[in-house]
Structure 1
Amino acid sequence: MTTSTPPSGRGNGMHHRHIYLDGTWTPPTSTEVIDVIEAATETVIGSVPDGTPQDVDAAVGAARRAFPGWADTPAPRRAAQLREVADALERRGPHLAELITREVGTPIGFAHMAQVGLAVLAFRIAAEVGESYPYERGQPQSLVLREPFGVVAAITPWNYPLFQVAAKAAYALAAGNTLVLKPSEVAPLSVYALTEIMDEVGLPPGVFNLVSGTGPVVGQALAAHPDVDFVSFTGSTDVGRTVTRTAAGTIKRIALELGGKSPTVVLPDADLADVVPRAVASAFLNNGQTCCALTRLVVPRGRKDEVERAAREAAEATRVGDPLLPTTQLGPLVSAQQRERVRRHIRRAQEQGATLLTGGAEPPEGLPHGYYVRPTVLSDVTTAMDVQHEEVFGPVLVIEYYDDDHDDGHEDEAVALANATPYGLAAAVWSADRDRAVGVARRIRAGQVEVNGGTFNPRAPFGGYKQSGNGREHGVFGLEEFLETKSVQL
């Protein structure tokens, strides 16, 4: 078994040489490895195997063999093991938070609260939902059964490397499926720690399997594999299209949680002094590397000066620096590639006519190492500009304006502008009148909408409209996503 020790300082490396198959740490079929780079220092902090299609085939075979026994395991017993996983994650919380901070650049406070905290909660909620769910329901002349699919392939992203795994693995396992996991090769170290926990709690061999590697190799092999019954993918819309085309060959079920370009709609009666700093903070969540980040601020044109001043002040007050320091609010992006992508977006927006209020494509001062981008706010953004409808995935907020010089129709214009995106993952609405805000929320084509700062609910369904994907995660809906429906006629 490969071992991990918590890093006591930045010099420690975590080099894994095995994948996890059939309840055993196993050498992969290739000796090639993928280096893991620390976002703040640009140095190698670990490595993982570069898996192959042969590794995928072995993992899927193990999951297929384990499926009948796990599906027949009573739901309360499955739930008990998931609670053991949650407890172990919580015990390792500080170590896991530091790992994720170093891999992804997440500020350490947010890593503790969200990256690790939400992962723990996902396992606990999945256990709670899974053991109480009515898997059999009678109705006239029929018995309706909800049954696990079989082998689930989970392909997960780097921005929330542990939480996104938990959102899939916990519910798939609670429902009685077995799992083959491909984590992002950019940030796999916390997922290796989770796999050690899965081993320690004694899940039956083959129930949980890990194959590290790249999307074009391991991800492609999983999506195409004839013995995989369900593919759950979180990542970019472009890769989601590829997964869909590949999986179509065997008509397997697919769930996709993809990109977003989510608006905060501010109605004319909202308190801008309260709303704008919150909007800036939301756009910069996890350094802007959040699929449901509210990266578009849709505001009344009549309050343009006030909005611009408040947004500039909030962005410039954001503390940028070493993500391991508890005072840091904005750390580096995950990679050099991501940093350059975000900088290109900023430059392109200015070329297309956006006004740079603060930030920009130049490197931040005083940070010679790390994949940092200045906290940036762009104003006068229109639907003709790429930055209005393309996901940036960095600390960039764009401001769009609707006319509010007439009483009738400005809500229609605000809603139309909010919906002017190929995505539909998230949104927010602010108004002094809660009922009015809810009315606007109903008209926005997005999977989840915050009203006046309503907080994330890990028991509520999460997923997107339009090109933000299909399917739902979390809570009862998250469990049902991993259940087939059978009717037995009596």
Structure 2
Amino acid sequence: MDTFYVNGRWVRSHSTQQVVVTNPATEESLGQVTLGDVTDVEAVVDAARRAGPGWARTPVSERAALLRAIAAELTSCHEEIAQLETAEVGSPITLSRRAHAGSPIHFFASAADLIEQSKPDETIPGATVLREPYGVVGAITPWNYPLHQSAAKIAPALAAGNTVVYKPSEITPLGAYALTEAIDSVGLPPGVFNMVIGDGTTVGARIASHPDVDLVSFTGSTQAGIQVATAAAATVKKVSLELGGKSPAVILPDAPLQPAVQQALRSGFLNSGQTCMALTRILVDRARLAETETIVRDTVAGYVVGDPSAPGTDYGPLASKAQQERVQDYIRRGQQEGLRLLTGGPDRPATLSHGYYLPLTVFSDVPPHSALVTDEIFGPVLVIQPYESIQEAIDLANRTPYGLCAGVWGATRSEAVEVARQLQAGQVFIDGAGFNPGVPFGGYKRSGTGREYGRYGLEEFQQIKGLVFGADATSSASRR
């Protein structure tokens, strides 16, 4: 693939640099994609800038109808997209159907509903408050949930009246082409949506720094987010960052232990641990540490790691060789630190002869200074941290530079909520609650700025203008 989507047309890249897209389960090539360069960025930004005024004036009803048409098109190719994402990301097909292929349908349909339900004008004493689009939005998305995260940015940005310059990850770009084809099929005005593939240091950095890009929405690692924010700083544009996490699963002393541990494991290993909101630190009272370890061993032994296209597979490979090696290094580091290994290890499971697989790995009784506690590993590696008191559990949970998510299990809902209120995290799952696309999602501390999902995600792409009124000229004249 050597074309990008610019001003309503597929055009060839100005660059000849290519990357091979690899199936992480088979290590076979899925094809080659040509990367863009700065010239390509100039073209997509120019198209988006010129289309901006017309799209901003487009009636809400028309914008909503086009978003629903995109959702319908994605629905019609749901299974094709799911199979494609399993091939390029390595996610089990059940997860691909639900998250990779299913979530984008929801995001486009719900964005249409939200913009129709929102009130663009608000009257307050002496003034009117308007919500307006920013202009050109740069949407830079990650490789772990390529279409989920892309739709979570593109749909509300378009709904709010912005035009979009979209840069998906060059590691998993195939789904981006499928998404772009779906958007192209519904007849958006030229330039409203544009797509360019490229790496972060060239294409991503130029999108972030471009003076004609008014807002950058980025999802990725904290280090990459810092680079995006730095590149954007010179033009003083709005930057929304959804970054890393090292989220705790706090199991309070009287909470039902087995379901809590099993739910925490499911969260921590989701997508082979390549999930920013994964609960990767299991905090339990020391009196129940041995029982927790038994539950962990028994539960992990029942999981199936293997071919992600097989319906019975629970967990697939890591998304790339580089990611596999990064996670292996952390596991070996934990062993070198003398940490107690409950399950797993650094070597590919013996039952799998190829693919970027690693066993599901859990270390126990891990001290808070360990790199396995402090660093976002982004793989199937969890740690158990025992605590002596609820206050210590809260302190351990907050002892991290991250603050994206957390989980709390309690004997009662009120007990869990009381602890949740003290956790420094943008979203807290209570008693095993699952993903809710209407709840605001974003981080505290180094986990980012801004919020996604629901009306909070829509408002992220709207800027506020106040119209302040003086004395009515007609009334003043009549009094004279």
TM-score, normalised to structure 2, is 0.97
- Per-residue deviation, 1:353: 2.9
**Alignment check: 8 A CA contact 1:353 1:381 kept:** no
- Per-residue deviation, 1:47: 2.1
**Which of 416, 422, 429 is the equivalent residue of 1:437?**
416
**Alignment check: 8 A CA contact 1:19 1:49 kept:** no
Output one character per residue of 1:78-112: Cα deviation in whole Å (capped at 9) or x when no partner. 11111111111111111101111111110001110
- Per-residue deviation, 1:197: 0.9
Deviates more, 1:325-334 or 1:351-360: 351-360
**Equivalent residues in 2 for 1:45-64, closer than 5 Å:** 45-64=30-49
Q: Which residue of 1 aligns with 2:474?
A: none
The answer to whether the aligner puts 1:473 opposite 2:452 as a matched pair is: yes
Q: Which residue of 1 aligns with 2:124?
A: 139
Could you tell me which amino acid in structure 2 is paired with residue 385 of structure 1? S
**Equivalent residues in 2 for 1:18-37, closer than 5 Å:** 18-37=3-22
Q: Which residue of 1 aligns with 2:394?
A: 415
**Which of 393, 396, 404 is the equivalent residue of 1:425?**
404
**Which of 342, 347, 355 is the equivalent residue of 2:332?**
347
- Per-residue deviation, 1:384: 1.1
**Alignment check: 8 A CA contact 1:428 1:449 kept:** yes
Could you tell me which amino acid in structure 2 is paired with residue 222 of structure 1? I
- Per-residue deviation, 1:359: 0.2
Q: Which residue of 1 aligns with 2:281?
A: 296
- Per-residue deviation, 1:118: 1.3
The answer to whether the aligner puts 1:250 opposite 2:229 as a matched pair is: no
- Per-residue deviation, 1:62: 0.2
Aligned residues: 469
Q: Which residue of 1 aligns with 2:476?
A: none
Q: Which residue of 1 aligns with 2:475?
A: none
Q: Which residue of 2 aligns with 1:402?
A: 387
- Per-residue deviation, 1:17: 1.8
**Alignment check: 8 A CA contact 1:34 1:213 kept:** no
Q: Which residue of 2 aligns with 1:231?
A: 216
Could you tell me which amino acid in structure 2 is paired with residue 67 of structure 1? G
Q: Which residue of 1 aligns with 2:436?
A: 457
**Which of 365, 370, 374 is the equivalent residue of 1:380?**
365
**Which of 260, 264, 278 is the equivalent residue of 1:279?**
264
Output one character per residue of 1:221-255: Cα deviation in whole Å (capped at 9) or x when no partner. 10110100000000000000101111001001000
**Alignment check: 8 A CA contact 1:107 1:326 kept:** yes
Could you tell me which amino acid in structure 2 is paired with residue 40 of structure 1? A
- Per-residue deviation, 1:460: 1.1
Task: Report % sequence identity.
Answer: 53
Q: Which residue of 1 aligns with 2:25?
A: 40
The answer to whether the aligner puts 1:153 opposite 2:147 as a matched pair is: no
Could you tell me which amino acid in structure 2 is paired with residue 105 of structure 1? G
**Equivalent residues in 2 for 1:57-96, closer than 5 Å:** 57-96=42-81
Q: Which residue of 1 aligns with 2:244?
A: 259
Q: Aligned equivalents of 2:339 and 2:216: distance in 1?
A: 39
Q: Aligned equivalents of 1:124 and 1:46: distance in 2?
A: 31
Q: Aligned equivalents of 1:240 and 1:209: distance in 2?
A: 22
Q: Aligned equivalents of 2:338 and 2:260: distance in 1?
A: 26
Q: Aligned equivalents of 1:479 and 1:280: distance in 2?
A: 32
Output one character per residue of 1:135-163: Cα deviation in whole Å (capped at 9) or x when no partner. 11111111111100000000000000001
Secondary structure of the 1:428 match is strand
Could you tell me which amino acid in structure 2 is paired with residue 487 of structure 1? G
Q: Aligned equivalents of 1:298 and 1:353: distance in 2?
A: 20
Q: Which residue of 1 aligns with 2:472?
A: none
The answer to whether the aligner puts 1:211 opposite 2:190 as a matched pair is: no
- Per-residue deviation, 1:280: 1.1
Q: Aligned equivalents of 1:69 and 1:266: distance in 2?
A: 53
Secondary structure of the 1:162 match is helix
Q: Aligned equivalents of 2:261 and 2:368: distance in 1?
A: 21
Q: Which residue of 1 aligns with 2:300?
A: 315
Q: Aligned equivalents of 1:277 and 1:136: distance in 2?
A: 47
Could you tell me which amino acid in structure 2 is paired with residue 68 of structure 1? P
Secondary structure of the 2:298 match is helix
Output one character per residue of 1:338-371: Cα deviation in whole Å (capped at 9) or x when no partner. 0010011111112223210010001211211110
Q: Which residue of 2 aligns with 1:390?
A: 375
Q: Which residue of 2 aligns with 1:485?
A: 464
Q: Which residue of 1 aligns with 2:111?
A: 126
Output one character per residue of 1:112-149: Cα deviation in whole Å (capped at 9) or x when no partner. 01111111111111111012211111111111111000
Secondary structure of the 1:245 match is helix
Output one character per residue of 1:428-472: Cα deviation in whole Å (capped at 9) or x when no partner. 000121100011001000000011011211011110000000000
- Per-residue deviation, 1:32: 2.4
User: 5+ unaligned residues in a row in structure 2: which ranges?
Assistant: 470-480
Secondary structure of the 2:457 match is helix
Deviates more, 1:380-389 or 1:255-264: 380-389
Q: Aligned equivalents of 2:116 and 2:50: distance in 1?
A: 23
- Per-residue deviation, 1:186: 0.5
- Per-residue deviation, 1:31: 2.4
Q: CA RMSD, aligned part only?
A: 0.8
Secondary structure of the 2:230 match is helix
Q: Aligned equivalents of 1:145 and 1:274: distance in 2?
A: 47
